[in-house]
Chain A
Amino acid sequence: MSESDLQPLDGNAAAGLLGEMFWRDMTTATGICAGCGSEGPFAEARLFASAMGSVLRCPHCDNVLLRAARTPRGVWLDMQGFRSLTFTPTPDAN
C-alpha cells in the first residue's frame, strides 16, 4: 500500500513518538512550513504512519514537514520541512 492510499492521521497521533524525545508536548506548537510558508498547529498537519516510521505533511502544500523512524541505533528524526516552530505556553498544557 502506498502512502497516498492511506487515510492520514494527524499530528495528534505523533505526540507519543515525539514525547519519547522531547520532554514537552509538541502538538501544541505552531509550525511554519518551509515549502509554502503557511503557519498552523503541529496537531493539524497530516500524518502518514506505518510500522517503518512516520511522515508528517503540510495540509496546504503537501511538503514533508517531519520524518521519523525507529532504527537499530535509536529514533531518527528529520524536521527540515519546518522553517520554524513556536511554543506558546497555554494555561492547561504547556
Chain B
Amino acid sequence: MKTNKQNTNLSKQRKKRMLIQAMGALIFNGDWKNFINGNIYKGNLKNICVPVLNCYSCPGALGACPIGSLQAVNNSYQFNLAFYVVGLIALFGITMGRWFCGWLCPFGWIQELLYKIPLKKFRTKQTIHKKAIWLKYILLIVFIFVIPIFTQDSYGMSSPAFCKWICPAGTLEAGYPLMLTNPALRQAVGYIFGWKTILLVITIFFSIKIFRFFCKYACPLGAIYGLFNKISFYHMECSSDCIKCGRCSEVCKMQVEPYKTPNSAECIRCGECIEVCPVKALQFSFIHENTLSKTETPNRSNNKQG
C-alpha cells in the first residue's frame, strides 16, 4: 500500500510533468497563426533541430524535426551522413537521455492524453514487451538507413522513408492540419495518405489502451535516446538503501524495473518511481558516482534489462 504522502507526491509530480509537456508542445509549435492560414513557419529557427519528435511541417513548428532532418541530409545528393544532425541528436542524448521523451515531446504528450481516455487499459506481457521494444530499432535501421540506400535515384537522392511510410506524428501534426486548411494540398491526396491514416488510427487506438504505445515500440528517436540513457549525464541511481519491495516497478508505466536497471533504455525519466519509493533509494543525478557499476543496481545479480 502506498502511503498518503507518496500518493500526494506522485500526483503533484504527474501534474507538474503534464504542465511542462503542454508548455513544450505550445512552444515548439509557437507560430499559431499558421494553423489558420494553412502554411508553415519559414524562419531561421528552423536551422536548429528540436530535441523531440515534432514534425517540421506542422503549421506552428518553430524548429526542425531531428528524424526528418537526419533523413533529409542523408538522402540528399551532396551528403551521405548528417554529421550536424547526428551530432545534435547525440548532444541531446548524452546530456539528458530520454528525459526529453518524458518531459518535452509533444507526440509523447499526445499519447499520454489519449491514455487518459477512460477505456480498459492493457499492460503488455513482460515477455512480449521485452521482444517488442526491439521493433523501434528495426524501424530506425530499416527505414532511416537501409531503404534510402536501396532506393536512391541516379543523383544519389531518395525519399525520407520513415516520414513517407510510417510517421504518425507527421500525419497528425502536419498532414491533417494542412489538409484541413489548405485546399491545394487536399486536391493532391492519394493512397499514401490513406495508408498513413490507417497507421495513425492504429497508433491512436493502441495509445488509448497501452501507455505510450508508439514511444515504447516504434519511435526511432526514442530508440536513439534510449541507447544514451546508459551513459547520459542525467541518469538515475539506486542506492544500497533499496529494500527491493518493487513499488517502483509497479508504478512504472514504461515497464521498467528501476531498482534493477535504473538506466534502462525504456526509462523516460518521468520520476514517478522516485516519488513512490518508501526509502528514497532512487534519485536522479548529473555527475555523481564514478563507475558504471555504481550507477547501476546495488545488487548486480538482479541486473536484467528492464
Q: Are A and B physically bound partners?
A: no
Interface set of A (CB-CB < 8 Å, partner B): none
